[in-house]
Copies of this chain bind each other. A is one copy, B any other.
Amino acid sequence: MKKVQKDNLYIVPLGGLGEVGRNMNLFIYKGKILIVDMGLRMPEENMPGIDYIIPNTSIFKPNLENTKVSQFSCLNPKNIVGVILTHGHYDHIGAIPYTIPRLQNPIIFASNLTKGIVLNRQIEFSRQPKLIIEEVKNGSKISLGPFNIEFFRQNHNIPGNLGLFIETPVGNILYTSDFKFDPAPINDLPTDFSKFESFAKRKILLLISDSTGAENKGRSLSEKTISENLEEIFKQAPGRIIAATFASHLNRIQQIISLSEKYQRKVVIEGLSMKKNVEIARNLNYLKIKKGTIIKAEDISKFPDEKITFCCTGAQGEKSAALMRIASGEHRFLNIKKGDAIIFSSSVIPGNERTVQIIKDEFYRQGVKVYHYQMMDIHASGHAYSDELKKLIQILKPKFLLPIHGQYSMLVRHKELAEEEKMAPSNIIIAENGQVLSLNPQSFVIEKERVASNYVMVDGLGVGDVGEVVLRDRQNLAQDGMFVIVAVIDRITGKVKTSPDIISRGFVYLRESKQLLKETRQQVIKIVEDAIGAGGAVNWSYVKDELRDKIGQFLFYKTKRRPMILPVVIEV
């Protein structure tokens, strides 16, 4: 591995490039490390049982004694000057409990809302050392080693979202975090373009910018439009309104609450995470709620239907969320009836289309009115669309661009947009997680070395212990189930004692497969006795291999299925 050249700034994306989620970036200058965000993402379909995927931080060696770390393969957590969290969404903060202990609990900087959300999450991880979080806000300036950071507010769909202007010895970096331009936001001030202009005057060497919305044409919708459309529903709804959105989408929750107040509706907040977020945000004055607006679910019967709004989680069709319980008639206090209006006020995360369709259909079957974003604009993305991304580049005129946050196709599109704004293609880097980018006033290039960036999977208490082998086994087990054969062999005669035990799950319905099991047992006895042979030492692993192969073939011939065959041979 090559040494870090002291005159370059190194940027190492550990997550969020070529994917949506688990955002985490390192900035390294003369061995000093600044970390921005520490997010998680959801597993892919082919990762059954996995809870989350988090950034790979094996590059950090906590037990390293040598404090002068100079190689990328090996960073000392002692050299971390700070961790900055841009906002309180889990794709930016969710990996903290799994990662921060390994980094030896460095100081964190975040807005008060982000801090509140992070600390609330930590309650589940009570054995961990207390986090050290310092509050920052719009206009805050901090110095962390070679980095001088100024925070500025950015519109998104959660309050307390901060962009970063980072002065470094090689030049200035503007880091957008997730953002959109909104001339009429909810609970927030409009985008401050003069701020961007003042940053531009100080010269931006590198712009690091959100690509999530790059493939969308035009401009993202303003929250004002959303409010107006939601109000149409509130005006017409003859009965209860059940509005589902993301638990973290505090601005949308505010809209629903404000409209309810305007139309004299009481509001029930349903869903543990949404309740908690509302509580935190309300305590910090990020949510404006009149006294008496919020009621408990058990009190809805005290009010007429047209005076009730349910604001709940589950717009993605999540199995355990409030909306699913309502749809399936399992909610304790809310039974769907005609006259109810259901609002899906969120986009559908790719991969969730089927589940959302199923829950929507369930509501349609119950004869209620369903509103979703494909019918009318009742959800706005929190991410800048192509025209906004171009406008940012127009204002800032950065020398270099690093598109972050997005699938590879989004990063490519972001690059194309920058080229339309006359940036030189060679000044824009489409990077991948784990690549090392070096920046100086003259150049911005990808280094040859890479650091580990493969998935770290969280499953229950295990962080990173589920790998390819375990996942492949889970996939195989799911396909055709498993088939355990237990054969007890008489040590003296070399014969199978009694009928072999067969334990099978997920393969065939055993009660209706008695003939198949009978034939399989006969095969087992024959295969085992043939494999044992007459006299001499028995090769037990050969016996097992024979069982696995031949019973596998036999079952495939009979069923065209390939259960996982697990032979157990016991000599007594």
A: which residues have CB within 8 A of B?
Answer: 18, 44-45, 48-49, 215, 350-351, 353-354, 357, 360-361, 364-365, 370, 374, 407-409, 412, 459-462, 465-467, 469-471, 473-482, 484, 486, 488, 497, 501, 503, 505-509, 512-513, 558-561, 564, 566, 568, 570, 572
A523 to chain B, nearest CB (A): 18
Which chain B residue lies CB-closest to A480?
B49
Given contact pairs A409-B360, A460-B559, A467-B509, A484 touches B484 in the complex (Cβ within 8 A): yes
CB distance from A441 to the nearest CB of B (A): 28
28 pairs, CB–CB < 8 Å, chain A vs chain B? A18-B361, A18-B365, A48-B478, A49-B479, A49-B481, A49-B561, A215-B374, A350-B357, A351-B354, A357-B407, A361-B407, A370-B409, A459-B480, A460-B561, A461-B558, A465-B512, A466-B508, A470-B506, A473-B481, A476-B505, A477-B478, A477-B481, A477-B482, A482-B482, A488-B572, A497-B572, A505-B564, A568-B568
Which chain B residue shows the least CB distance to A563?
B49
Which chain B residue shows the least CB distance to A561? B460
State the CA gap A357–B558 with chains docked (Å). Answer: 37
A501 / chain B contacts, CB cutoff of 8 Å: 568, 570
- Closest Cβ of chain B: how far from A572's Cβ, in Å? 4
> With A and B bound together, what is the CA distance between A461 and B49 in angstroms?
28
A476 neighbours in B (Cβ, 8 Å)? 505
Complex CA–CA separation, A364 to B360 (angstroms): 34
Q: For residue A407, which residues in chain B have a CB less than 8 angstroms away from its CB?
A: 357, 361
User: Which 8 residue pairs spanning A and B have beta carbons closest together?
Assistant: A460-B560, A478-B478, A48-B478, A361-B408, A477-B477, A473-B506, A474-B506, A350-B353
Residues in B with CB closer than 8 Å to A353 are 350-351, 353
Which residue, of A357, A471, A497, has the highest number of chain B Cβ atoms within 10 A? Answer: A357
Q: Considering only CB atoms, which chain B residue lies closest to A459 in the complex? A: B561
- Measured in the bound complex, the distance between the Cα atoms of B45 and A365 in whole Å is 22
A409 to chain B, nearest CB (A): 5
Chain B residues, CB < 8 A from A479? 48-49, 474
Chain B residues with CB below 8 A from A503, complex form: 484, 566, 568
A18's closest neighbor in chain B, by CB? B361
Residue of B nearest to A362 (CB): B408
Given A351-B351, A467-B509, 17 other A-B residues pairs in contact with their CB atoms under 8 A: A45-B354, A49-B479, A364-B412, A365-B408, A370-B409, A460-B560, A470-B481, A471-B506, A474-B477, A474-B478, A477-B481, A478-B478, A482-B482, A484-B503, A486-B486, A486-B568, A488-B572
B361–A409 CB distance below 8 A: yes
CB contacts (< 8 Å) of A560 on chain B: these are: 460-462
Q: Which residues of B have CB within 8 Å of A558?
A: 461
Across the interface, name the chain B residue whose C-beta is closest to A555. B460
A417 to chain B, nearest CB (A): 13
Flag if A357 contacts B477 (CB, 8 Å).
no
Note all chain B residues with C-beta closer than 8 A to A480.
49, 459-460
A559 interface neighbour in B44, B45, B462, Cβ under 8 Å: B462
Kindly list chain B residues whose C-beta atoms are within 8 Å of the C-beta of A506. 49, 470-471, 473-474, 477
Cβ–Cβ < 8 Å partners of A482 in chain B: 477, 482, 505
B474 in contact with A508 (CB, 8 Å): no
Q: Which of A459, A475, A558 has the most B CB atoms < 10 Å from its CB?
A: A459
What residues of B have a CB within 8 angstroms of the CB of A470 in the complex? 481, 506-509
**A500, B462: Cα distance in complex, Å:** 25
Instruction: Evaluate contact between A570 and B488: CB separation under 8 angstroms.
Output: yes
- Report the separation of the CA atoms of residues A442 and B236 in the bound assembly, to the nearest whole angstrom: 35
CA distance in complex: A49, B44 (Å):
17
Contact A478 B49 (CB under 8 A): yes
Q: With A364-B412, A470-B509 given, is the CB distance from A354 to B44 under 8 Å?
A: yes
Distance between Cα atoms of A482 and B48 in the complex (Å): 13
User: Measured between C-beta atoms, what is the minimum distance from A570 to chain B in Å?
Assistant: 6
Query: A435 CB to closest chain B CB, in angstroms?
Result: 12
A215 cross-chain contacts in B, Cβ below 8 A? 374
Between A18, A470, A564, A566, the greatest number of chain B beta carbons within 10 A of the residue's beta carbon is seen for A470
User: In the complex, which residue of chain B has the Cβ closest to the Cβ of A503?
Assistant: B566
A568 — which chain B residues lie within 8 A by C-beta? 484, 486, 501, 503, 568
Q: How far is the CA of A490 from the CA of B439 in the complex (A)?
A: 71
CB of A494, distance to nearest CB on chain B (Å): 16
